Amino acid sequence: MFRIKICGVTRSQDVRMIARSGADAIGFQMSQGPRKISPEQARRLVRQVPPLVTPVGVFVNEALFRVNKLVKFCGFQAVQFHGDEDEIYCEKAPVPVMKVIRMKNEVTYRAYRGFQVAAYLLDSYNKNIPGGTGKTFQFSWARRAVQELSSPVLVAGGLTSDNVQKAIRASHAFGVDVASGVEVRPGFKDPRKVSLFIRHAREALKASAEY
């Protein structure tokens, strides 16, 4: 499973730049929001993702048949489910699944302990927005989830190069995910922000592994 993911990518130049900067995965929003792209766009972008970087399709409450179709058409190697997808739904996905848990409170994650998924992604809760809120949640909540969940836990929600090390130190998470924190505007990534984020995340993840 990847450790550093840059999400909400919409442009070819950003795919190349993110890969050069050392990200492990690149996310493509297929369902909703300002970073949503068409299947045709996603297919073109995925073809530019180099080996050893994982292209991830990001979905919110999509019909499973459409997820399966787009995984095949676009070439996604993993999927991220941001909605109300249940355990059975996740088990039927054709590629590894990262299930997003929107942390409404410190024990929200407990409802997902039985899921058979490759990883979990803890994100901020907003009743009106399934993701990409740009807001953080209490990283101490993630620490408990890391201890109790059986699959690797990544954290997201309002991360930037300034706070990603704090998030990793506080949570001991396996990895991190970012979208708005490395942008100049939705879907347009800033090379400097991306580079700093990845560098700071790598430093903290290495230190956490040695702890």
pLDDT tens, position by position, 173-199: 999 999 999 999 999 999 999 999 999
Q: How far apart are CA 201 and CA 166, in angstroms?
A: 10
| Closest to 57 in 3D by CA, of 30, 18, 24, 35 | 30
Please give the full DSSP string across 107-147, using - where no structure is assigned: TGGGGGTT---SEEEEEE--TT-SS-------HHHHHHHHH
Q: Which domains does the chain have, with CATH numbers?
A: 4-210 (3.20.20.70)
The catalytic site residues sit at 7, 123
- What is the phi-psi region of residue 174: left when phi exceeds 0, alpha when psi lies from -120 to 50, beta otherwise? alpha
| 3-state SS record for 147-167 | HHCCCCEEECCCCCCCCHHHH
Strand partners, 177: 5
Alpha-carbon distance of 195 to 175, in angstroms, equals 16
- pTM for this model (two decimals): 0.94
Give the pLDDT of residue 210: 63
pLDDT tens digits, 134-151: 678 888 899 999 999 999
Please give the pLDDT value at position 135: 72
Q: 182: which DSSP letter?
A: G
pLDDT level of residue 92 (50, 70, 90 thresholds): very high
Q: Is 210 exposed, middle or buried (0-12, 13-18, 19+ CB in 10 A)?
A: exposed
Apex 28 CA angle, 203 and 123, nearest 5: 55
| C-alpha to C-alpha distance for 15 and 116, rounded to whole angstroms | 30
Q: Which residues of 111-143 are buried (b: 16+ CB within 10 A; e: fewer)?
A: ebeebebbbbbbbbbeeebbbbbbebbebebbb
